[in-house]
């Protein structure tokens, strides 16, 4: 099956292309929309510190494991586990990953649509017309409750996604990320300079960078770990899929380090854009999920050159969402190409449309379907909860156990050292220890803590 569909699979053109694409997957709404508000809600500097520990101790080893599985097998998540342990229950991890990709993209596409809408609304200036975050928040609430508008932008986001993924790995995903990722970094730097030069910005910097350890407790640690997972795109095989297009010449450890650094740097940078601005405007950092959509427009409206800055900011948010969205779609598509023998075009169109359809009730969850609730949560929250809080951590934990104990670190080591790449002491030993003991136990604790009432 693998050989006959190989021409449909494709490969990255260079290591840089791979690193940019994998970073594109990692850097997304998780970094720009979610990271600042969870930092804001969880006490600032201390949370940032715990987050960083989670990224390096738990996220980094899993990312290397996922890249290794992908490159070893040149397959999608289901195919990868099946090739290494044929017909075993471990293949279930792959199915869980494909399902997670399906579910995550269904609501991610909705929020991606919001970002597209805010690009348009900041160009027209309508989001900048409010004197305080309260009115801007109402405007946001009205917008996400408007069926026609939400569906239109949701469809636009998914269509963009489909148009890129249909062109394949090299022509579509790689080309898009080569342009989009560097653009994003440049824009963020400009915004940071703008933010830091506002009067009163330093108070925000202090909130962001000074750890106050009295703010740390069990639940803060859990949130930090979950955020690390989502932000690094781990636990569903997106990184297995991207790794499967990588040549054996490339050094997996350095790719891992680049992607982790890039994702982390962007999250940290976004904090440096948002907190100085929030404090300079005398606003609270604890606004929650509305921080970006309802607080920032007020911040922009009040600052010199604010109109331009707003357009740039929402453009950036849309770019980050697209490069993550394509990795979610590609993971599901790769399964249908490799395992089911579909051609790329058919796989992308069918999968893309079905995911869009599944996303429709999520999109309507803040409007006409706002009252349709089960256990107090709307459709959107349920899909997000199942995928992000259950499937991702479980997927990550089982991937670590699989690589650490079932397929074995010895085999993984061999794959990592292919083509004269060295996995040196003490890094190799350190990784083995983390992936076998620390990662599964830590993720297991998070998972259990999450399902306990």
Applying CB under 6 A, the residues found at the interface with ligand PHE are 25-26, 28-31, 104, 230-231, 233, 236, 238, 324, 327-328
Smaller CB separation from ligand PHE, 260 or 401: 260
**What is the CA 106 to chain-centroid distance, rounded?**
14
Closest distance between ligand PHE and the C-beta of residue 120, in Å?
21
Smaller CB separation from ligand PHE, 28 or 404: 28
**CA separation, residue 301 to residues 9, 224, 294, 312, 315 (Å):** 46, 32, 11, 13, 16
Closest distance between ligand PHE and the C-beta of residue 327, in Å?
5
Residue in the structure block whose two tokens are 């997972």: 229
Closest distance between ligand PHE and the C-beta of residue 230, in Å?
5
**Closest CA relative to residue 335, chosen from 404, 412, 236:** 236
8-state DSSP, 217: -
96 with 265: CB under 8 angstroms?
A: no
Smaller CB separation from ligand PHE, 151 or 267: 267
Closest distance between ligand PHE and the C-beta of residue 104, in Å?
6
Closest distance between ligand PHE and the C-beta of residue 99, in Å?
12
Smaller CB separation from ligand PHE, 104 or 312: 104
CA–CA separation, 27 vs 319, rounded Å? Answer: 10
CA–CA separation, 237 vs 203, rounded Å? Answer: 40
Question: Would you say how long the chain is, in residues?
Answer: 453
Q: Give residues with Cβ within 8 angstroms of 415, minimum separation 6.
A: 68, 71, 72, 252
Closest distance between ligand PHE and the C-beta of residue 231, in Å?
4
- Cross-strand partners of 377: 374
Smaller CB separation from ligand PHE, 123 or 268: 268
Smaller CB separation from ligand PHE, 26 or 46: 26
């Amino acid at each position: 099956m693998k050989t006959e569909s190989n021409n449909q699979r494709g490969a990255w053109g260079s290591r840089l292309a791979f690193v940019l694409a994998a970073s594109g997957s990692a850097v997304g709404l998780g970094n720009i929309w979610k990271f600042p508000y969870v930092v804001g809600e969880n006490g600032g500097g201390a949370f940032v510190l715990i987050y960083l520990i989670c990224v390096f101790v738990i996220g980094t080893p899993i990312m290397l494991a996922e890249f290794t599985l992908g490159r070893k097998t040149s397959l999608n998540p289901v195919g990868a586990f099946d090739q290494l342990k044929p017909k075993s229950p471990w293949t279930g991890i792959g199915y869980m990953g494909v399902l997670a990709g399906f579910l995550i993209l269904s609501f991610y596409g909705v929020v991606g649509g919001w970002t597209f809408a805010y690009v348009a609304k900041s160009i027209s200036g309508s989001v900048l017309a409010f004197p305080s975050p309260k009115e801007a928040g109402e405007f946001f609430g009205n917008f996400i409750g408007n069926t026609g508008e939400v569906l239109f932008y949701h469809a636009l986001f998914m269509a963009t996604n489909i148009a890129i993924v249909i062109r394949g790995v090299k022509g579509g995903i790689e080309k898009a990320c080569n342009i989009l990722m560097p653009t994003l970094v440049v824009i963020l730097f400009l915004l940071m300079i703008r933010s830091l030069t506002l009067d009163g910005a330093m108070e925000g910097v202090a909130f962001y960078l000074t750890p106050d350890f009295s703010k740390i407790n069990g639940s803060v640690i859990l949130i930090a770990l979950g955020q690390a997972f989502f932000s690094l795109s781990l636990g569903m095989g997106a990184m297995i899929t991207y790794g499967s297009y990588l040549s054996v010449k490339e050094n997996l450890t350095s790719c891992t380090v680049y992607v982790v650094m890039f994702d982390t740097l962007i999250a940290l940078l976004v904090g440096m854009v948002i907190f100085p601005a929030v404090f300079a405007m005398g606003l609270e950092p604890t606004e929650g999920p509305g921080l970006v959509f309802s607080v920032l427009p007020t911040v922009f409206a009040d600052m010199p050159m604010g109109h331009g800055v707003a357009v740039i900011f929402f453009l950036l948010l849309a770019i980050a969402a697209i490069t993550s969205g394509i990795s979610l779609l590609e993971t599901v598509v790769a399964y249908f190409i490799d395992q089911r023998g579909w051609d790329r075009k058919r796989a992308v169109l069918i999968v893309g449309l079905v995911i869009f359809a599944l996303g429709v009730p999520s999109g309507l969850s803040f409007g006409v379907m706002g009252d349709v609730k089960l256990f107090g949560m709307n459709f959107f929250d349920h899909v997000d909860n199942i995928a992000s809080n259950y499937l991702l951590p479980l997927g990550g934990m089982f991937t670590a156990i699989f690589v650490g104990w079932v397929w074995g670190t010895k085999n993984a080591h061999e794959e990592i050292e292919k083509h004269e790449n060295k996995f040196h002491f003490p890094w190799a030993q350190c990784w083995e220890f983390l992936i076998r003991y620390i990662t599964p136990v830590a993720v297991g604790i998070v998972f259990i803590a999450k399902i306990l009432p």
